[in-house]
Structure 1
Amino acid sequence: MYKLTIDGLHKSYGDNKVLKGVSLKASSGDVICLIGASGSGKSTFLRCINFLEQPNDGAMSLDGKQIRMVSDKDGMRVADPDELQRIRTRLAMVFQH
C-alpha cells in the first residue's frame, strides 16, 4: 500500500492549464524531489496536495484511504475539515529556491 497516491491531478488558472493529469505514488519514507523550470507547476502541485490551492480534477488517497472531495466554483476541496487537518499533519513539503 502506498502512503500517498495522486491520480490525474489538474489545475488551471483561467485558460492557463498548469497541471495536466499529474499522477504520483509514494511509499512511507520516500523522499521525492520535483525539478523543473520556473513556471512548470512544481509549487502548484505541492500546494494542491496540501489543499492550499484547490485542484480542478483528480483523486488522492492517504494511507490507503480515498480523500473525499467536493466541487465548488473554485475547484475541488476536502469535504470534511477534520480530514483536511489530518492530511496536513501527515504530509510535509519543503520549498527551496
Structure 2
Amino acid sequence: MPTLNGQEGARASVAAIHRRLVVPPAAPVGRVYVSFEVDKEGRVRHPQILKGLRADVDSAVLATMRQLPRFVPGRRGGQPVAVSFTVPVTIPVKKQP
C-alpha cells in the first residue's frame, strides 16, 4: 500500500485532505466519497467524486485532492504499482489544533 508521512494511504490521504480542505460557507453536513489512484511515482491521479454533497463542496474536495503531496508508491513483488482508493471526506471539517 502507498504511504504518506509514514501512514497507510487511505488514512493518510483523509488526514491530508482534512488539513488542506477549505469548504464553502454554509456547507451542508455529510460525507463526500472520492476515488483516486496513487500511481507508480506516488502522484495522485484521476480524482473523482463518487457521492457528493453539493457542487461547490465537491469542487473544493477535488481541488484539495490535486494539492496532495506525493505518496511513497505501493509495491508488489518489489516493483512500484498503482493503487486505487475510495475515501470518505467528512463535512464540516474540524480543523486540527
Structure 2 length normalisation: TM-score? 0.30
The structure that is helix-richer by fraction is 2
Higher relative contact order (CA 8 A, sep 6+): 2
Q: What TM-score do the two structures reach when normalised by structure 1?
A: 0.30
